[in-house]
Amino acid sequence: MRFNWIKKLVLAVVAIAILFMLTPFAIVPPGHRGVITTFGKPSEQVYSEGIHFRWPLAQTMHLVGVAIEKGEGEGDAASRDLQRVTTRIAINYHVKPESVVYVYRDLGNKPGERIIVPAVQEAVKAVTARYTAEELISKRAGVRDDIVAALRERMARHGLVIDEFSILSFNFSKTFDEAIEAKTTAEQLKMKAERDLQRIEVEAQQKITRAKAEAESLALQRQQVTAELLRLREIENQAKAIEKWDGKLPNTMAGGAVPFINLPATTHNKQ
């Protein structure tokens, strides 16, 4: 009983396989193009997405991806000043739809392994050698553009297109990292000292300006103290003293004991 069940299952699988091989239609899904081989020989026609006729057993539809593919990797190189640099990159690329026959036939339908990886490694090494280690950091955008330019021509010959390219990181030796950190710290201290010096100079200039203003103010006041002004102040002081006087004369003179002579009261003649 069990043997019969296994036999039926095997027959069903074989029947499905035969039916699949004998089917006269092939389907190209989205994001792909098709290449038909006749007894192993690829045709020059590119088949777009959809259903296509093929001769059963004689022809086979092979799919080549044309959607954007993403790859990441890293490689070692030497800068112009002989510093060891490990560069990590990310790349997005796709196969030109009109080049799928070439990609299938000449690249074994493995463009990433056969073209992208070695091309990126070669371009990164060549471009890195043009820059010093510090320039790789300060001119990162230029380094990226140079790598893309070196890659684009080579990839175009193989029917590949770069969509995006990014430098994720540069990693240097520990000694170089420490030297960069020390230089950065020194530059920061220099900038702080320059700012402090500018602040001190500004404060000193402000003090000088205030002192000049005060001196000019005093000089102006001295110029305004004329003889007429002094006489006017003396008259004002005498006027204030008269306003405060109670009408009584003092009995003594300042600086001596000479008494005032008592004057008799003036009598009026009677009429």
Ordered mean pLDDT values, 10 residues apiece, the chain (271 residues): 69 70 83 94 93 87 94 89 91 95 93 91 93 91 94 91 93 78 73 81 83 76 62 73 64 50 47 43
Range of the domain at 85: 69-172
Q: What's the pLDDT score for residue 267?
A: 46
120 and 85 belong to one structural domain: yes
Contact 43, 37 (CB under 8 A): yes
In the structure encoding, which two tokens stand for residue 108, read together?
């074994």
197 and 145 belong to one structural domain: no
Q: CA 149 to CA 228: how far, in whole Å?
A: 91
Residue 108 maps to a domain: yes
This model's pTM is above 0.85: no
Contact 147, 127 (CB under 8 A): yes
Residue 238 maps to a domain: no
28 and 96 belong to one structural domain: no
Q: CA 191 to CA 242: how far, in whole Å?
A: 71
56 and 115 belong to one structural domain: no
In the structure encoding, which two tokens stand for residue 138, read together?
């300060």
Q: What's the pLDDT score for residue 102?
A: 94
Q: What's the pLDDT score for residue 229?
A: 63
83 and 119 belong to one structural domain: yes
Q: What's the pLDDT score for residue 260?
A: 47
Question: What is the total count of domains within the chain?
Answer: 3
56 and 136 belong to one structural domain: no
90 and 154 belong to one structural domain: yes
Domain boundary among 34, 65, 96: 65
